[in-house]
Every structure is written in C-alpha cells, then in structure tokens.
Amino acid sequence: MQAVSKLIFGPTQEERVKSVQAQLRSEQRALDREVRQIDAASSKAKMEVKKLAKKGDTKNARILAREIVRSRKQKDRLITSKAQLNSINMQLGHQLAMYKVTGSMQKSTEIMKMSNQLVKLPEVSKVMREMSAEMTKAGIMEEILEDTLDSSVLGEEDDLEEEATGEVDKVLFELTDGKLGQAAGTEHLPDLVAPKAAEVHEDEEKEQENLERMQAALDGLLRG
C-alpha cells in the first residue's frame, strides 16, 4: 500500500527531509576531501617557494605565494560551507522531530538564508539547488528566486584576489625566513601615501599662484 501511495503521491515530507539530510552528509564528506587536497597542494607549493627563494627566483616564488594565499581563502570558504551544511542538517532534524509531533512542517527563514548563501558557491551550488527544491516541496522553505543568485561569485573572486595581493609579501616573508617579502603588507603604505599628499599640496600651491597672477593682471587692467 505504501509503495502504491508513493507511486501516486510521491515521497512523503519525512522521506524528503531524510533524503536531503543524506545529501548534506555526502556533501560534507566531499568538502572534507577538497580541504585535504588543498592542504596537500599547499604543502608542496610551500616547499617549492623555499626552493625558489634559495635560487633567488623572486618572480616565480611570488606567483606560488599568491596561489598559497588563494588556497587558504578557498579552504576557509569550504570550512565555512561545511559548517553551514551541518547547521542546516541539525535544523532539518529539529523540523523532522516537530513534524512527527505536530504533523506539519514549518518554513525556516534561517535554512532559507543559508541555502541562498550556499547555492552561490561553485563547490556546492548544484547540490544546493537540488536540496533546496526538495526542502521547498517538503514545505521547509520558500522557493529560491533567481535574483538571489545575481550576487555573483565573480565578485567574491575579485575580493579574494585583492586580499591575496595584500598578503603575498607576508606569506613570502614567513616561508623564506625573511629573505623575501615583508612581515606585514602595510609597512610601506605611509611612504606611498605621503608622495601623493605632497603632490596634491604642490598642485594646490600652483593653482593658488595662477589665481593670484590672474587677479593681479585683472587689477592692472581695471586701473588702466
């Protein structure tokens, strides 16, 4: 009878929730594998940076250091994503327990919020779209709208690149025992800002001198 009911009406809400929970656990394991791969690649890159530093190959050392920084950022993002998946899983467990008592599911704004965040990430976007569809059918969340995806990952990549640029010197300094790079990315910032301020001041003085000359010439014409 259950098989016939399932064939006609599809899976129950409880079955949908358990299916999503199984997908969440599978995705968490996949993220763990990606983190381990990043760690392994970063370890090799760090060793190579040290070798390049000894050879005095600053250009390639800097390129590798940039990749190390990007890998760190990606790893942090994966770990955060895994934590969000785990949080969704726990909330689904709570929803399921309430369903068994009340016989109905309640829509969760928190699950909706985290799902919107995760569906934007390339590592989990496809899986989250599928899981979001199941949670919508189960009455746990509203359907994700396309305009929520307009906050492109490209913007995050730009931020990542900007942060990486600021940290490359620090990574080089750490990996080469101070032979390359610098301890922090802002030591030379005052040196860069000061000339700009001086240039602005000089331009203002020139502009003031020009105005004074023009005023003097105008006064001469009026007196004549």
Instruction: Find the distance separating the first CA and the last CA of the chain, reported in whole Å.
Output: 112
Task: Round to whole Å and give the CA distance between 117 and 137.
Answer: 20
Q: What is the pLDDT of residue 84?
A: 93
Task: Round to whole Å and give the CA distance between 125 and 26.
Answer: 14
For 32, other C-beta atoms within 10 Å of its C-beta total 13
The architecture CATH gives domain 2-175: Up-down Bundle (1.20)
pLDDT per residue as tens digits for the range 156-191: 555 555 555 556 777 777 777 666 665 554 443 333
Mean pLDDT of 121-135: 85
Q: What is the pLDDT of residue 147?
A: 47
Task: Round to whole Å and give the CA distance between 88 and 144.
Answer: 15
Mean pLDDT of 16-34: 93
Mean pLDDT over each residue of the chain, to the nearest integer: 75
Name which residue leads in pLDDT, 87 or 141. 87
Question: Is a pLDDT exceeding 60 seen at residue 149?
Answer: no
Q: What is the pLDDT of residue 79?
A: 94
